[in-house]
Each structure stands twice: as structure tokens, then as C-alpha cells.
């Protein structure tokens, strides 16, 4: 009969504490960097949407000489934008952050940079109150 002895090996308490400390240091550096990613992604998305909305409305008006509904010229995500016939609104913290309004001869863009973080970042990135006149 062969007697096999197995030697069980495990981590010591010092090794476990060292591993926890290393993970904590990595987390303390990574978590603050990841916290702002959500608002930056929203800012980028909304900024792109604003550009798309304005250019789509202008293009549609140039071809058709009128705009009855904004939804005729551009398709938007209704969970992000509140859409009516002549107005599109992006809300943050239950406040109107961006409002795009279509008149017979122009498109008006207004922004309230105090509505929230995304609105402030949009304002800082260069989105301002502006009127785009149809030619």
C-alpha cells in the first residue's frame, strides 16, 4: 500500500491583506475616472442630436419649402427628447435644458446651462442660444 501524503497549500493572511490593499489602491484611482463617463457620453449624444436636428430641419425645409411637423424631417428617440409638432425639448432634472423650435422662417435653439450637469457641459462645449434663418 502506497501512502500518498498531500500537502495542502493556502494563502497566508499577509498575502490576502496585501492583495486587498492592491485592489483598493487600483479602485481608488479607477472609480473617480469612471464617474464622469456617463455624463460625458450623454453630452456627446445630445450634442450630436442637436446638430442632426438642426441640419435635418434645414435640409427638409430647403427641399419642401415648409415644415408641418419636426417628426417629418428627423426621427428622434422619444425617451430622450420630448417631441411635438413644432418643438423638441431635452429635459434634465425636470427642467428644459435644450429647446429647438421651428417657425415659418427659422429654427431657434435655446439652452439653459443651469438645468444640470449635461446642460452645463453642452454650454461649455459651445452650444448657445441661436436662431438659424431659412434661406
- What whole-number distance in Å separates Cα of residue 32 and Cα of residue 47? 24
Number of Cβ within a 10 Å radius of residue 32? 9
Residue 19 included in any domain: no
- Asked if 79 and 57 count as a contact pair (C-beta separation under 8 A), the reply is no
Residue 35 phi/psi, 5-degree rounding, is -65, -35
Residue 5 in any domain: the answer is no
Number of separate domains in the chain = 1
Which pLDDT tens digit goes with each residue over 10-58?
Answer: 778 898 999 999 999 998 888 877 777 778 888 999 999 999 999 999 9
Residue 112 lies in a domain: yes
Give tens-digit pLDDT for 67-109. 889 888 899 888 889 999 999 999 998 899 999 999 988 999 9
- Burial (CB count <10 Å: 0-12, 13-18, 19+), residue 47: middle
In a domain, 127, yes or no: yes
The reply to whether 123 falls in a domain is yes
Residue 14 lies in a domain: no
Q: Would you say residue 47 lies in a domain? A: yes
Give me the domain span that covers residue 89: 38-133
* Whether pLDDT at 135 is above 80: no
Write the CB contacts of 85 (distance below 8 Å, at least 6 apart in sequence): 68, 69, 70, 71
pTM: 0.73
Amino acid at each position: 500500500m502506497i501512502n500518498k501524503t498531500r500537502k495542502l497549500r493556502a494563502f497566508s493572511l499577509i498575502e490576502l491583506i496585501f492583495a486587498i490593499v492592491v485592489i483598493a489602491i487600483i479602485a481608488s484611482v479607477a472609480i473617480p475616472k469612471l464617474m464622469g463617463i456617463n455624463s460625458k457620453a450623454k453630452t456627446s449624444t445630445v450634442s450630436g442630436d442637436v446638430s442632426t436636428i438642426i441640419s435635418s430641419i434645414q435640409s427638409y425645409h430647403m427641399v419642401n419649402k415648409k415644415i408641418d411637423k419636426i417628426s417629418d424631417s428627423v426621427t428622434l428617440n422619444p425617451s430622450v427628447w420630448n417631441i411635438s409638432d413644432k418643438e423638441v425639448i431635452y429635459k434634465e432634472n425636470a427642467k428644459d435644458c435644450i429647446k429647438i423650435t421651428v417657425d415659418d422662417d427659422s429654427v431657434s435653439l435655446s439652452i439653459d446651462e443651469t438645468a444640470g450637469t449635461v446642460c452645463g457641459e453642452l454650454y461649455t462645449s459651445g452650444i448657445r442660444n441661436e436662431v438659424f434663418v431659412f434661406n
